[in-house]
Amino acid sequence: METGLERARVLVTGGSGGIGAACVRRFAAEGARVVVHYHRGRERAEAAGGAAVVQADLRDEREVERLFAEAGELDVCAAVAGVWPAEDVPVAELPLERWRATVDANLTATFLTARGFLRQLGDREGALVLVGSTAGLFGEAGHADYAAAKSAILGGLLLSLKNEAVRRHPRTRVNAVAPGWTETPMTDGALGGEQVAAITRTMALRKVATADDVAAQVVALASPLLSGHVTGQVVTVAGGMEGRVLHER
């Protein structure tokens, strides 16, 4: 299906991770020229298959500014980078240090990425796709820091950006994808047989998503042909997940 992304200049943040690398491959398959951002995993970023790789710590304002200077003129940005802290820590025991680190790695990094993209976009038409999480829709016990950061991305940040973006160009769009449990290196070890059986009890489609499942929706939202009149929306990629148990066992 034609997406209109051929020769588009695309930045994918977190391109060394599972979902990020899948997004790079999908955009490249559409003929886009993809700049792959990474923080630490250069080899994985290069293996994703983009046209160029750029390193930056997205929590650092000056490094983000350098990232966009090196990336050049962009049409699309997929803000995929984020961190899910694996350790289950309830709020009553959650250290302020971890709270701040998680918020910075997710919410602050996404804010700086969105700001950098819109600044370089100027008055040209573009598309920004944010990546949140179902944790931001339903919460996640033991991970309130992550859930709060993702909720802010899918709520106030997304809804403000979609109204601000059109001040620069009337057809610039901002949308978001909210993945549920997805098979990636970040969730490796957390998705064994018993865990999958438990978490899929809330899903109509009883399976864990693949990174390609998520990437397909990111590309669709970035496409001016598939989503040209869609903005401010959250596409949940979680097999019909609900905040209640759907299956007995």
Residues 90 and 193: their CA atoms lie apart, in Å, by 24
Smallest CA-to-CA distance from 175 within 245, 120, 224, 242 is with: 224
Residues noted as catalytic: 146
Q: Quick one: which of 36, 55, 39 has its CA closest to 47?
A: 36
- How many Cα atoms within 13 Å fall on the side-chain side of residue 24? 27
Kindly write down the DSSP assignment for every residue of 178-230, as one continuous string.
EE-SEESGGGTTS--HHHHHHHGGG-SS-SPEEHHHHHHHHHHHH-TTTSTT-
Q: What is the rounded CA–CA span in Å between residue 90 and residue 74?
A: 40
Residue 156 contacts by C-beta under 8 Å, 6 or more apart in sequence?
none
